[in-house]
Amino acid sequence: MGNRRVKMSIFKKIVSLIRKREGLTIAFQLTPSMFWILAFLVIPLAFITVYSFGVMRAGGWIPEWGFQNYVRLFTGLDGMYFKLLLRSVGIAALVTVCSVAIAYSLAYFISFRVEKYKYTWLILLMGPFFISWVILVLGWRLVIGYSGLLNYALVQVGLLSEPTRATWGNWGAVVLVLVMGWAPWIVFPIFVSLEKIDKSLLEAAADLGANPIKRFLRITLPLSSPGLLVATFFILLPIFGEFVTPALAGGSGGMMYGNLIESSFMGWPRWPFGSAASVTLMILALIIATALLRVVRLETLMESL
Q: What does the pLDDT look like over 256-292, one tens digit per residue?
A: 898 888 888 886 678 888 889 999 999 988 888 888 7
C-alpha–C-alpha distance, residues 67 and 271, integer Å: 14
Residue, of 128 and 242, whose pLDDT is higher? 242
Provide mean pLDDT across the span 92-102: 93
Return the bridge partners of 57, or none: 60
Least confident of 2-16, 29-43, 237-251: 2-16
pLDDT, mean over the chain: 82
Query: What is the pLDDT at residue 270?
Result: 81
pTM for the full model?
0.82
Provide mean pLDDT across the span 128-148: 85
What does the DSSP 8-state code read for residue 128? Answer: G
The answer, yes or no, to whether residue 161 has pLDDT greater than 90, is no
C-alpha–C-alpha distance, residues 89 and 286, integer Å: 14
The answer to whether the CB of 278 falls within 8 A of the CB of 45 is: no
pLDDT tier at 77 (50, 70, 90 boundaries)?
confident
Query: What is the pLDDT at residue 279?
Result: 92
The answer, yes or no, to whether residue 113 has pLDDT greater than 60, is yes
**How much of the chain, in percent, has pLDDT values that exceed 70?**
85
Query: What is the pLDDT at residue 23?
Result: 56
Query: What is the pLDDT at residue 108?
Result: 92
176 contacts: CB under 8 Å, gap ≥ 6: 140, 144, 249
**How much of the chain, in percent, has pLDDT values that exceed 90?**
14
Query: What is the pLDDT at residue 102?
Result: 94
Alpha-carbon Rg for the chain in angstroms: 26
Query: What is the pLDDT at residue 296?
Result: 64
pLDDT tier at 19 (50, 70, 90 boundaries)?
low
What does the DSSP 8-state code read for residue 131? Answer: S
Query: What is the pLDDT at residue 234?
Result: 82
Query: What is the pLDDT at residue 189?
Result: 87
